[in-house]
Amino acid sequence: MTIKVNNLVLDISEDSLATLKHKVAKKLGVKEENFKSFKIIKESIDARKKDAIKFNYAVEVACDNEERILNKSKSSDIRPGGDNYTPDFHEGIKKMHNRPVVVGMGPAGLFAGLLLAERGYNPLVIERGEAVEERTKSINNFWYDRKLNTESNVQFGEGGAGTFSDGKLTTRIKDHRCGYVLEKLVEAGAPEEIAYMGKPHIGTDILKDVVRNIRERIKSYGGEVRFSTKLEDIEIKNGELYSITIDGQQVPCENMILATGHSARDTYEMLFKRGVSMSPKPFAIGYRIEHPQILIDENQYGKFAAHPKLRAADYKLTYTSKELDRGIYSFCMCPGGYVVAAASEENAVVVNGMSNYKRDNVNANSALVVAISPQDFEDTTPLGGIEFQRRYERLAFEVGGSNYNAPVQRVQDFLKDRVSKNFGKTEPTYTPGTEFADLRKCAPDYVVNAIKEALPVFDRRIPGYAGEDALLTGMETRTSAPVKINRNEEYESVNVKGLYPTGEGAGYAGGIISAAVDGLRVAEKIITEYSPK
């Protein structure tokens, strides 16, 4: 047994570990030297009072007489610890004639493949993109030489789209598997602090090593990993998955975890053609907005901006236009980051945000997007959202000069409908390059008008947000999957037995942690039904 102690508040000037131990010992009525173990399990920053920033902690300790201490305590901040997830479920007895296949190596596919491999199911894990080492080279070829690899890019490849983003690990889901995911990430090389930070992130530079290490662990347990291998087709017989086609070869398959990510448009089209049940799904589109990071730091931390104990500040903004009946919000905010070229199809411009672990670039950036619903799609089929995205990605390509430059506009010029002529203090971080343009030309009118309405509101919340130094870059279209592949409570496709739509690309997750958790749930379902031998 361990003891969990919550609501330990420290001033920014206090030594964290020494003061924490002293406060915990006092709260429990024991001596510090009696601690057998002492672990921080949560750290968050309270910056509501900018002249008195505090840190709030929760810790878990082991010591003698734990049960007596718990029974004696009258504080609601002191409770039993040790509620971590362990995959202690039992294997099923049903015979599996072919090994399970995992399609996609984003977080959902990686964690599904890892759990299956650990439990002896020897999965075949396929990824259309390259291993992260080669994938990095292909991405750099696009960013610096404009040579797009449509099969291996920011969207496709080992680690999924999240690898070339900020590596955020925040999630709104409450699931005991979240801690397990963080634990496995730390084992694979992520910083230990992600297990307790209030807003944990890894960063692209470290994530690349982490996903490679998870891949090697899958292989060490008997799983097979194939890169540059795309799911080309599936065969269904009597409502059950019968086989799949990869590399032009038909492979018998009765259980497939489909974790392709939100940009596998040709896979969506193939599944639709094969009659797999799916439906259109809401998402959001807009632009990336950049500011000097110091502007965000000073707004969040006041006089403590740039304090060595504080990381680059982030923000989250939301607004609802009653007139337009649409939500406008910031999304995937990247402190100290970069706006990156994220196209996966030729003649299209797509932007995303990325940060390294230290988040030490001079600019902050975030998506600034407007909610889109299936009622906005001209195409009324389940694939209508894909065509909607394509339309505005191709317009952004044209407006940017048809050479993968991204169209950019200073916020004040955007509000006044004029093309910018120069940059303020914020210069764009997007590579390959940028072109001053009228961003109205690559977005629907209602998106433009909604963002124009929201910007002055956001400027009141963060002074300078819509100022002279703010810069917009288009287009942000891949906020989430435009399609949901319908599944039942057993995580299987509603009309194809053995097909398990999983993660963000199937419409059941919204970030690294929630996708990984969904991958674990689906892997558990297969494990509890089938025997590994």
Give the CATH superfamily of 101-279+485-529. Answer: FAD/NAD(P)-binding domain (3.50.50.60)
Between 107-118 and 177-187, two packed helices, what is the crossing angle to 10 degrees?
A: 90
Listed by start position, the domains of the chain span 3-80, 101-279+485-529, 283-476
Instruction: Give the pLDDT confidence score for residue 170 in this predicted structure.
Output: 86
Q: Is-contact 519 105, C-beta < 8 A?
A: no
Q: Angle at which helices 204-220 and 107-118 pack, to 10 degrees? A: 30
Name the CATH topology of 3-80.
Alpha-Beta Plaits (3.30.70)
SS3 of residue 529 by DSSP: helix
**Alpha carbon distances (Å) from 72 to 28, 59, 63, 68, 78:** 9, 19, 15, 6, 10
Residue written as tokens 């997830």?
85
Q: Per-residue pLDDT for 533 more than 80?
A: no
Q: What is the pLDDT of residues 430-458, one digit of tens each?
A: 999 999 999 999 999 999 999 999 999 99
The pLDDT, as a whole number, for residue 20 is: 94
The set of long-range contacts for 444-449, using a CB threshold of 8 Å and a minimum separation of 24, is 444/376, 444/392, 446/324, 446/326, 446/370, 447/285, 447/286, 447/370, 447/372, 449/324
Q: Is the pTM of this model over 0.85?
A: yes
How far is the C-alpha of 173 from the C-alpha of 68, rounded, in Å?
A: 34
pLDDT at 458: 98
Query: What proportion of the chain, given as a percentage, has pLDDT over 90?
Result: 91
Bridging pattern class, strands 124-126 and 101-103: parallel
Q: What is the pLDDT of residue 84?
A: 66
Count of H-run helices and E-run strands, the chain: 12, 23
Residue 142 predicted with pLDDT over 90: yes
Q: Are 156 and 343 in contact (CB under 8 A)?
A: no
Question: What average pLDDT does the segment 243-264 reach?
Answer: 97
Residue 33: count other Cβ atoms within 10 Å of its Cβ.
8
Q: Measured at the alpha carbon of residue 39, what is the angle toward residues 38 and 40, in degrees to the nearest 5?
A: 135
Distance CA 60, CA 395 (A): 53
Res. 523: pLDDT tops 80 = yes
Structure tokens at 30: 């024991």
Quick: pLDDT tens for 58-79: 999 999 989 899 998 889 999 9
Give the number of other CB atoms < 10 A from CB of residue 77: 12
DSSP string, 352-390: EEE--TT--SSEEEEEEEEEE-GGG-S--STTHHHHHHH
Tell me what pLDDT residue 83 has.
Answer: 63
Which residues touch 163 (CB under 8 Å, ≥6 apart)?
132, 157, 204, 207, 208, 211
pLDDT in tens, 81-118: 876 677 778 899 999 999 999 999 999 999 999 999 99
Closest CA to 290 of 200, 410, 202: 410
Q: Say yes or no to pLDDT of 286 above 90.
A: yes
Which of 32-36, 259-263, 383-387 is predicted least confidently? 32-36
pLDDT band of 16, cuts 50, 70, 90: confident
